[in-house]
Chains A and B, each alone.
Chain A
Amino acid sequence: MNLSFRINSNIDSNRVASLIGLRNGQLWDLLFSAAVWGSVLIVAMVFLWLVGDVLIRGVSAVSWDFLVSPVIDSGRSGGIAPVLVSTACIVAVALAVAFPLALASAILIAEFLPRTGTVSRLVVASFDVLAGMPSIVFGLFGNALFNQLLGFGYSLLSGGLTLACMVLPFMIKANVDGLRAVPRSYREAGDALAMSRTSTLWHVLLPAALPGIIAGVLLGMGRALAETAALLFTSGYVTRMPESLMDSGRTISIHIYDLAMNVAGGDRMAYASALILVVLLILINTAVVRLGDWIQRRSLRA
């Protein structure tokens, strides 16, 4: 009763004030809201424009056939089936290698190394440097190490391993942040219950850190899907359907780049491929987030 009365009187005083004209504080409030909403609107419009542009120009070329046909005439006709397969292989190799390494390193950094110790700071600093490295440098490095020194040649394996190196620092950082966001009191509770460090880590800390870990996977996957420069030197840009990881192949980002830059009359197909890439990204994001939610709910509830 009392509360509703107060709300009413508030509204009344606002209305009166706005009838008379704005007071100083209200003007600032208004400007501030306008600025905030304006920024949101701009970002949303850029996003909509981008998606809309890709959608409008690409949708006419997309069909089921487009997804399952081989690349014909440098991509001017046919579809993108081999490109999708190569993309899947490269991203899978990258994640399969980078994820366990990232998780293990993050556990070491966040749980076992003293936070302000020299080792920890050195390791974190070197990851920061790696994270800022242009991807072309990773391409050269991958070419020297995987293609030549280890003799994998231009192959999906070389490309995947190079991408693994590239996304590793991002994934480690996300995992470390996820683990550090877990309250210290959970660790104390585990210790006080005579649980081993490993057991607390496995049963309590990792499930609680899952949002950070999922973010790391998504970040890594997003970067891997979007990469072109590092792959030109390592996995190559053959359009054939790969038969093994040792075959060369191009990812969808390289395909788009190639169609747009090197193939006259490839624009329509470039947009179609871009549309597929955007849809893929959205689908994968949703799927991974759902999966994470599900795992977390299961491990927290059961």
Chain B
Amino acid sequence: MDRITEATSYIQEQDSSSGNICLCTESLCLSYGTRAALENVNLRIPSRAVTAIIGPSGSGKSSFLCCLNRMTDLCCSTTIEGSVRLGEHDIHRDLGKNPIALRRRVGMVFQHPNPFPFSIWKNLALPLKHHGVRNKQELSSVIEQALRRVGLWEEVGDRLRDSALTLSGGQQQRLCIARALVLEPEVLLMDEPCSSLDPLSTKCIETLIGQLKNSYTIVVVTHDLAQARRVADHVALFWNADGVGRLIEQGPAARVFQHPEHELTTSYLEGQL
């Protein structure tokens, strides 16, 4: 137990050298009702880079991600302590009761593709209209741009009026990414975006993540270590200790994979190799 806390603070000192920090959490604790799910998470997420969150299931990776755009507000009886800073704002204090402004800046893609049961066009137009884009021409150009960015334009550009549910799983997930991107967020959170996809679609999404990191800060949860190696610039390992999720190691991907500092990281990486 003590070892874990020690290691975290040690790593924190070491890691403060890395570039621009976009999101950072300070002693973040989350509990569902009376059950603690996350304890004392101090994670720094560099901007315009891919941060991969890895760890066994139940270690609080998804819960952590939900703290970053306040999706935790949805479940009643969650309590959050500590702080999450986005730029100079504390997202729980400064942004007050209204998480909507925050969610425009921090987009999210879910584990299972969840397009609305509408046409491809309407899936993208709905959030745009909701945020004030009404001009038909502007809508079309933004939608085309978003679809091109995720490589869907070539595949479905000629059938935008078809239901999004007729797309394949991989296409649906890319549509969801496009839908998150039309609002031009700064950060894109992805919770195991490939876990329900076939290898080809997975490859497609990984390539996409590689391209998007030039313009967005990306946080991707994955249980696939090989994927983390392929896409991540920074890695954070969560661990479930006594039923509570903790961050036990973080740092540049190359360093964490080659010279893990925590013994649990070593065994976790080896166990999967």
Contacts and interface: CB of A to CB of B under 8 A. Distances in A.
Contact of B163 (A183, A203, A208, A300): A300
Contacts of B10: none
A211 to B, nearest CB: 12
B104 A194 contact: yes
A192 B69 contact: yes
A301 B130 contact: no
A194 B163 contact: no
Interface residues of A, number: 20
A292 to B, nearest CB: 15
Interface stretch (B42-50, B108-116, B198-206, B235-243): B108-116
Contact of A188 (B107, B114, B115, B126): B114
B118 A300 contact: yes
B110 A301 contact: no
Contact of B100 (A183, A187, A188, A196): A196
A302 B117 CA distance: 11
A47 interface: no
Contact of B119 (A191, A193, A302): A302
Interface string A193-233: 11110010001100010000000000000000000000000
Nearest to B103: A194
B150 interface: no
A301 B122 contact: yes
B122 A192 contact: no
A195 B117 contact: no
A151 interface: no
Contacts of B131: 194
Interface residues of B, number: 30
B179 A193 contact: yes
Contacts of B87: none
A302 B129 CA distance: 13
A199 B107 CA distance: 18
B264 interface: no
A192 B99 CA distance: 10
A185 B119 contact: no
A203 B163 CA distance: 16
Contacts of A194: 100-104, 127, 130-131, 183
B100 A301 contact: no
Given A194-B127, A300-B117, A300-B118, A188 B180 contact: no
A192 B103 contact: yes
Of the candidates A114, A189, A192, A208, the one having the most CB atoms from chain B within 10 angstroms of its own CB is A192
Contacts of A186: 114, 116-117
Contact of A189 (B101, B102, B116, B119): B116
Given A114-B76, A185-B112, A203-B126, A192 B71 contact: yes
Contact of A193 (B101, B112, B161, B180): B180
Contact of A208 (B74, B117, B180): B117
Contacts of B100: 194-196
Contact of B116 (A191, A196, A204, A302): A204
Interface string B55-74: 00000000000000101001
Among B110, B114, B116, B127, which residue has the most Cβ atoms of chain A within 10 A? B116
A300 B119 contact: yes
Nearest to A193: B127
B119 A188 contact: no
Interface in A158-207: 183, 185-189, 191-196, 199, 203-204
Contacts of A203: 126, 130
Which of the listed residues A187, A189, A300, A302 has the most CB atoms from chain B within 10 Å of its own CB? A189
Contacts of A199: 130
Contact of B74 (A188, A195, A300): A188
Given A114-B76, A302-B122, A192 B107 contact: yes
Given A192-B107, A192-B180, A301-B161, 9 more contacts: A183-B114, A186-B117, A188-B74, A188-B114, A191-B71, A192-B103, A193-B180, A300-B119, A300-B163
24 contacts: A186-B114, A186-B116, A188-B110, A189-B115, A189-B116, A189-B176, A191-B74, A192-B108, A192-B110, A193-B107, A194-B127, A195-B100, A195-B130, A196-B130, A203-B126, A203-B130, A300-B117, A300-B118, A301-B118, A301-B119, A301-B122, A301-B161, A301-B163, A302-B119
Interface of A: 114, 183, 185-189, 191-196, 199, 203-204, 208, 300-302
